[in-house]
């Protein structure tokens, strides 16, 4: 049963819209569409829902989909934990192509701005670029560990013929890439540079050729975000950095003694991270100084989202699964709703409607009421 405990003084600022069960636990999070959301689950289902929570289609891949489906124009690229990668029609979910015998997909795929290329990161750190329309490999870059074995101190060549030389010297990474079964932080694609978090550090590649651009020994990365020419990085031990996407140089760094619980996310003029044990911290994006700190009922392990114009929506990971709404600019609580399932991924907002995915595989939605002056 869905329990919605709305904490408000008088008239509730939020009301339930729908709940939908995907019939299996899920850790993918929601992929936002113009008219709804996409999700995957442990049973291998990929589901498209409309704004009212009605299933538009369901595709069954047979094994767990652990990371978010990637939207690529009118296609959806999705992978499984046993190493199948499929391209589905966004319109009806029909399979366009499928690759088998691939590495497990434990890192969210990233699609370029044109929707023509999808980037996949293998558990060993190898990076591949595939054509969305066919699944054909455009280039492949072996992991830094493979580089150390092939030619110590040098990066291996990309497999794509005629690739241009790297535009900046590459600092060799320590060959420590592991194949742990946990999920990995997603890369970011910015200004033609793909920044990939590996166990051995951050690795920046030219998105067109796969040639290395730079690397930084920043490890245990919880997540990345980006803005203009800056990549924001948060690490579990408590480092938050702003790096130049051009050369990887550090613009500012902030440290938290109790560690970081959730990935960085830009929203309402600040960079927000979950800080230990159960706090939300806002940082200035330009200089990294702390501008806000709010105590949460349980840790933030996902990302915050903007709701309406001045609400910061914060999903919390306790068993009660509370979605906390803070009102800018003072970050005072506007309301809290309870889902009775941990919320570990970013909400999706469409107009006055907010969607969340619970760890139990349910999609819950609420309608936000617009406050009118007077």
What is the pLDDT at residue 5? 43
Integer Cα distance of 210 and 142 in angstroms: 10
CB contact at 8 A, 347 and 37: no
> Which residue carries 């293998």 as its tokens?
122
What is the pLDDT at residue 139? 98
Would you say residue 17 lies in a domain? no
CB contact at 8 A, 88 and 42: no
Would you say residue 94 lies in a domain? yes
Q: What is the dihedral of CA 313, 359, 180, 77, to 10 degrees?
A: -80
Q: Residues 309, 301, 28, 214: is their CA dihedral positive or negative? A: positive
Q: What is the CATH number of the domain that holds 127?
A: 2.40.128.630
Number of domains comprising the chain: 1
Would you say residue 90 lies in a domain? yes
Would you say residue 256 lies in a domain? no
Would you say residue 323 lies in a domain? no
Number of Cα atoms under 13 Å in the Cβ half of residue 229: 7
Question: Could you report how far apart the first and last alpha carbons of the chain are, in Å?
Answer: 37
Would you say residue 122 lies in a domain? yes
What is the pLDDT at residue 182? 78
What is the pLDDT at residue 153? 37
What is the pLDDT at residue 371? 59
What is the pTM assigned to this prediction? 0.87
Integer Cα distance of 29 and 260 in angstroms: 20
Integer Cα distance of 12 and 195 in angstroms: 43
What's the DSSP call for residue 183?
Answer: -
Per-residue pLDDT reduced to its tens digit, 40-67: 999 999 999 999 999 999 999 999 999 9
Would you say residue 285 lies in a domain? no
CB contact at 8 A, 81 and 104: yes
Would you say residue 13 lies in a domain? no
Q: List, in sequence order, the alpha helices (H) in the chain.
A: 144-150
Q: What is the dihedral of CA 79, 341, 365, 232, to 10 degrees?
A: -60
What is the pLDDT at residue 145? 60
CB within 8 A of 149, min separation 6: which ones?
A: 175
Q: Residue ranges of the chain with pLDDT lower than 70?
A: 1-11, 145-181, 370-374
> Which residue carries 């706090």 as its tokens?
279
DSSP letter string over 84-127? -EEEEETTT--EEEEE-SPPP--S--EE-TTSSEEEEE-TTS-E
Range of the domain at 86: 28-144
Coil, strand or helix: which one is 148?
helix
């Amino acid at each position: 049963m869905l329990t919605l405990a709305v904490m408000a003084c008088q008239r509730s600022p939020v009301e339930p819209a729908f709940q939908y069960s995907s019939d299996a636990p899920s850790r993918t999070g929601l992929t936002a569409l113009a008219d709804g959301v996409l999700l995957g689950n442990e049973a291998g289902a990929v589901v498209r829902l409309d704004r009212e929570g009605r299933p538009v289609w369901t595709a069954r891949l047979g094994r767990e989909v652990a990371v978010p489906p990637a939207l690529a124009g009118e296609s959806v690229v999705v992978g499984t934990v046993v190493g199948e990668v499929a391209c589905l029609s966004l319109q009806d979910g029909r399979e366009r192509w499928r690759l088998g015998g691939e590495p497990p997909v434990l890192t969210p795929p990233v699609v370029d701005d044109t929707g023509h290329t999808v980037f996949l990161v293998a558990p060993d750190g190898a990076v591949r670029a595939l054509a969305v329309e066919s699944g054909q490999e455009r280039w492949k870059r072996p992991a830094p560990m493979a580089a150390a074995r092939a030619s110590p101190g040098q990066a291996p060549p990309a497999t794509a013929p005629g690739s241009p030389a790297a535009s900046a010297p590459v600092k060799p990474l320590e060959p420590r890439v592991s194949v742990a079964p946990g999920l990995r932080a997603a890369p970011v694609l910015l200004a033609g540079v793909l920044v990939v978090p590996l166990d051995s550090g951050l690795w920046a590649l030219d998105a067109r050729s796969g040639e290395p651009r730079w690397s930084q020994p920043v490890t245990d990365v919880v997540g990345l975000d980006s803005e203009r020419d800056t990549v924001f990085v948060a690490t579990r031990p408590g480092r938050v950095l702003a790096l130049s996407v051009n050369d990887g140089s550090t613009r500012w760094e902030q440290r938290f003694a109790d560690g970081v619980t959730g990935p960085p996310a830009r929203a309402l003029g600040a960079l927000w991270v979950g800080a230990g044990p159960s706090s939300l911290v806002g940082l200035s994006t330009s200089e990294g100084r702390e501008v806000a700190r709010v105590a949460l009922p349980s840790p933030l392990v996902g990302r915050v989202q903007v709701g309406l114009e001045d609400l910061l929506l914060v999903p919390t990971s306790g068993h009660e699964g509370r979605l906390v709404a803070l009102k800018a600019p003072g970050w005072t609580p506007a309301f809290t709703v309870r889902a009775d399932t941990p919320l570990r991924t970013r909400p999706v907002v469409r107009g006055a409607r907010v969607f969340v995915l619970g760890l139990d595989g349910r999609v819950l939605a609420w309608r936000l009421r617009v406050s009118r002056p007077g």
